[in-house]
Amino acid sequence: MMFKKILIANRGEIACRVAATAKKMGVRTVAVYSDADANAKHVLACDEAVHIGGSSPRESYLLGARVIAAAKATDAQAVHPGYGFLSENEAFAQACADAGLVFIGPPPSAIKAMGLKAESKQLMEKAGVPLVPGYHGAGQDPAMLKGEADRIGYPVLIKASAGGGGKGMRIVTKTEEFDAALASCKREAINSFGDDAVLIERYVTKPRHIEIQVFGDSQGNCVYLFERDCSVQRRHQKVLEEAPAPGMSEARRAEMGAAAVSAAKAVGYVGAGTVEFIAEPTADGDLKFFFMEMNTRLQVEHPVTEAITGLDLVEWQLRVAAGEPLPLQQHELRIHGHAIEARICAENPDSNFLPATGRLDVYRTPSDAVSFERGPHARVGAPNAPNAPVRIDAGVREGDAISPFYDSMIAKLIVWGADRAQALARLDAALAATHIVGLHTNVAFLRRVAASDSFAHADLDTALIERERAVLFNAPHLAIDLAAAGVVAHALAAEQALETTDPWSRRDGWRLHGSATRRFDIESQGTHHAFTLERSAGTQTLVNGTRRWPLAIAPRAANTYDVTLAEQRTTLTVYATGERFSVFSPDGSAVVDEFDPIAHSADGAVEAGGLAAPMPGKVIAFLAKAGDKVTQGQPLAVMEAMKMEHTIAAPRDGTIAELLYAVGDQVSEGGELLRMAPAP
């Protein structure tokens, strides 16, 4: 019998996503929330909500006992863990069962079997699933691990045995780098998973990350719902995912699917899971694949599988957890079209993907996008929603803040097309229509990745971003003349809103005789630009030095203008927040500031000799002490933000004069971490 009420032990977009399907099925929902999430979208998406602790996950979402107490207090019958947090925690799944609650996921034994990467690989080896050469043993002596890496041969991958999501993972290219990489990997693993055990594997060159969605029920049935290619990654975390995998033959798809089902059956799997493989191309153009790990939960990228199958995987989860058999068998499953998901994150790609925090002053998504909140038919893809090619899964609203306590993902943008070419075109258009103001995001970077030769031609592997670095990073933004035209358009619209019928009170530069000029001083990417707008006899000209462009502006909608600059017409959307203007066009975007020479000359960062925190976070370690001589590029400190470690290096040679924080301290963005004296 279907549940009457479930508790969702997660936050953000996945909590909203689960709540929407539960509502469709007539199942009531209970949210849990931390101090930081008191007014979060997922709290309002559920029928009830229970506060479970402080802002840090260790004070709230990772406290299984509080989650279970909330479920019992609200008479929930089951707990959906979402992904992350407690979703792959064997002890939590068992505690739910002991408390009389259904854990909407696999049995604790399956989580245990697949949760430790080393043990799972030993199990897969017995099941005949191909493995990457490596060390998967229990021994964790650093010298022994280094010896194993030397034996396997570099490059090697150090990987947290209890890990996932790219955390606790490092590529090591030579023996001299091993000790520092191992120490960092273990720190990140203990902080993220409470277990610092690692395994060592040969790093496959030109690897593709291909995963198979599996589903099992309590009657012993198990199917695979085809594959997803998740090769486009940064810091071992996925950026773009698509289904089906480009270039996958039907024979290889069936072989990988069968291997994934065998892996799931080997541990008595029930519910949604993902078997992840590393695949490398063979000389004949096919793929050779190796088992990597199994994620015993729903994946972040599950929407692309939903898009190509027309199925609701959360509905399947609830039905299977309630004891029902799988809704479909293998022979009934089909692939329809192609889908791509882009993870929109609060981060700065041009600064090594440093996470960003701040308020979503503007959060606008494509007008044709659907979301699960809109009901049972608001589902992208075929065959159920052929006229809904764009979907947004988000746990935020305009005005919400992105905090340093959780991961950096703002939303997931999913597009569907009849084929990959159509999906790519829709992805670019949807990203162009995604306007976020208030903090750094990767939206423009995602557009560049999707348009890169490698991605456009499906030349995929996990090094794609590095291979395309020249076109992906520090790329030109929207042309400065167009950005200036956007500022001018916004300024003129503001003036027109204040106009009166009295010509002497008008603010648009009207003159009885002659022309009028107005100067616009703006700054973009650290460069000052002076523009002049000349207005005479009904015409307008934008001037920058010796360059002149005829300019025509026609308002289209709020903040949106049709702009013709030197006979080239485009549409610009402009948002003003204080003295900052964010300008968006179909061809790109730019952020410009009104330039105040007086304020600019007085503006100062950290005083000379200081080293500032590039993002808000917690100090994990100082790698030098007062009095130490350091060289440019030498690691000096390690900070943790949004569940990832970030190493901060010396900007120049010098001597450490003073450490201004202690390990464990929280530091705001721009906070002075330490002071350096010049090298003697």
List, for residues 509-566, the tens digit of each pLDDT value: 555 555 688 899 998 887 889 999 998 877 999 999 999 999 999 999 999 999 999 9
Judge whether residue 134 has pLDDT over 60: yes
Give dist(CA 483, CA 592) in Å, integer.
7
Q: Provide the pLDDT for residue 235.
A: 81
- Choose one of 180, 202, 224: the last residue of a domain: 202
- Calculate Rg over the CA atoms of the chain: 27
Nearest to 121 by CA among 182, 197, 184: 197
Give dist(CA 445, CA 300) in Å, integer.
20
Are residues 297 and 150 both part of a single domain? no
Which range marks the domain in which residue 9 is found? Answer: 5-104
Q: Provide the pLDDT for residue 604.
A: 41
Q: How confident is the model at residue 394 (pLDDT cuts 50, 70, 90)?
A: very high
**Residues designated as active site:** 297
Q: Is residue 72 part of a domain?
A: yes
Q: Provide the pLDDT for residue 505.
A: 55
| Mean pLDDT computed over 321-329 | 97
Residue range 12-22, pLDDT digits in tens: 999 999 999 99
Written as six digits, the tokens of 509 are 């530069």
Give dist(CA 85, CA 10) in Å, integer.
7
Question: What one-character-per-residue DSSP string does 378-412 give?
Answer: ---BTTTBTT--EEEEES--TT-EE-TTS--EEEE
Are residues 71 and 144 both part of a single domain? no
Nearest to 651 by CA among 674, 668, 667: 674
- Choose one of 564, 580, 600: the last residue of a domain: 600
Judge whether residue 9 has pLDDT over 90: yes
Q: Are 12 and 409 in contact (CB under 8 A)?
A: yes
Q: Is residue 51 part of a domain?
A: yes
**Domain with 658 in it: what CATH number?**
2.40.50.100
Q: Are 589 and 477 in contact (CB under 8 A)?
A: yes
Structural domains in the chain (count): 5
Amino acid at 388: A
Q: Provide the pLDDT for residue 596.
A: 62
**Domain with 584 in it: what CATH number?**
3.30.700.30
Q: How confident is the model at residue 375 (pLDDT cuts 50, 70, 90)?
A: very low
| Mean pLDDT computed over 668-677 | 85
Q: Provide the pLDDT for residue 645.
A: 76
- Choose one of 405, 440, 472: the last residue of a domain: 472
| Mean pLDDT computed over 92-97 | 98
Are residues 213 and 196 both part of a single domain? no
Q: What is the DSSP letter of 370?
A: B
Written as six digits, the tokens of 417 are 């097309």
| Mean pLDDT computed over 146-168 | 87
Residue 207: enclosing H or E segment and its boundaries?
none
Q: How confident is the model at residue 110 (pLDDT cuts 50, 70, 90)?
A: very high
Written as six digits, the tokens of 306 are 């939903």
Q: What are phi and psi of 252, to 5 degrees?
A: -70, -35
Q: Is residue 109 part of a domain?
A: no
Are residues 373 and 236 both part of a single domain? yes
Residue 152: enclosing H or E segment and its boundaries?
helix 142-152
Judge whether residue 180 has pLDDT over 60: yes
Q: Are 673 and 661 in contact (CB under 8 A)?
A: yes
Give dist(CA 35, CA 51) in Å, integer.
8
Question: What one-character-per-residue DSSP string does 24-61 give?
Answer: HTT-EEEEEEEGGGTT-HHHHHSSEEEEEE-SSGGGTT
Give dist(CA 257, CA 262) in Å, integer.
9
Residue range 407-427, pLDDT digits in tens: 899 999 999 999 999 999 999
Are residues 453 and 589 both part of a single domain? no
Are residues 64 and 22 both part of a single domain? yes
Q: Provide the pLDDT for residue 601.
A: 46
Q: Is residue 97 part of a domain?
A: yes
Q: How confident is the model at residue 384 (pLDDT cuts 50, 70, 90)?
A: very low
Question: What one-character-per-residue DSSP string does 236-255 give?
Answer: TEEEEEEESPTT--HHHHHH
Give dist(CA 328, CA 225) in Å, integer.
10
Q: Provide the pLDDT for residue 640.
A: 82
Give dist(CA 624, CA 10) in Å, integer.
38
Q: What are the residues whose beta carbons fall under 8 Å from the beta carbon of 42, sequence distance 6 or more? A: 8, 10, 11, 12, 13, 15, 16, 19, 31, 33, 395
Q: Is residue 333 part of a domain?
A: yes
Residue 424: enclosing H or E segment and its boundaries?
helix 420-432
Are residues 308 and 411 both part of a single domain? yes
CA dihedral 607, 611, 615, 616 (to 10 degrees): -80
For the chain, what is the mean pLDDT? 89
Beta partners for residue 1, in sequence order: none
CA dihedral 388, 394, 400, 402 (to 10 degrees): -140
Give dist(CA 308, CA 381) in Å, integer.
6
Judge whether residue 644 has pLDDT over 80: no
Q: What are the residues whose beta carbons fall under 8 Å from the beta carbon of 492, sequence distance 6 or more? A: 508, 553
Q: Provide the pLDDT for residue 511.
A: 55
| Mean pLDDT computed over 493-504 | 66
Q: What percent of the chain has pLDDT over 90?
A: 66
Written as six digits, the tokens of 17 are 């996503």
Q: What are the residues whose beta carbons fall under 8 Å from the beta carbon of 251, sequence distance 6 or more? A: none
Written as six digits, the tokens of 93 are 């799944």
Are residues 435 and 494 both part of a single domain? no
| Mean pLDDT computed over 669-674 | 84
**Domain with 404 in it: what CATH number?**
3.30.470.20
For 13-142, list the strands marked E by DSSP: 28-34, 48-53, 78-80, 102-103, 134-135
Judge whether residue 273 has pLDDT over 90: yes
Are residues 421 and 499 both part of a single domain? no
CA dihedral 387, 393, 398, 400 (to 10 degrees): 170
For 86-138, list the strands marked E by DSSP: 102-103, 134-135
| Higher per-residue pLDDT: 374 or 361 | 361
| Residue indicated by tokens 């280094």 | 146
Q: Provide the pLDDT for residue 376.
A: 39
Judge whether residue 495 has pLDDT over 50: yes
Judge whether residue 300 has pLDDT over 60: yes
Q: How confident is the model at residue 667 (pLDDT cuts 50, 70, 90)?
A: confident
In the sheet that holds 644-649, the strands lie side by side as: 644-649, 635-641, 617-622, 666-667
Q: How confident is the model at residue 344 (pLDDT cuts 50, 70, 90)?
A: very high
Give dist(CA 281, CA 285) in Å, integer.
6
Q: Could you tell me where the DSSP H helices lie in 127-278?
A: 142-152, 178-193, 250-266
Are residues 435 and 566 both part of a single domain? no
Phi-psi region of 178 (alpha: psi -120 to 50; beta: other; left: phi over 0): alpha
Give dist(CA 651, CA 407) in Å, integer.
27
Give dist(CA 678, CA 680) in Å, integer.
6
Give dist(CA 541, CA 557) in Å, integer.
23
Residue range 44-60, pLDDT digits in tens: 999 999 999 999 999 99
| Higher per-residue pLDDT: 582 or 679 | 582
Q: Is residue 125 part of a domain?
A: no
Are residues 434 and 294 both part of a single domain? yes
Are residues 47 and 157 both part of a single domain? no
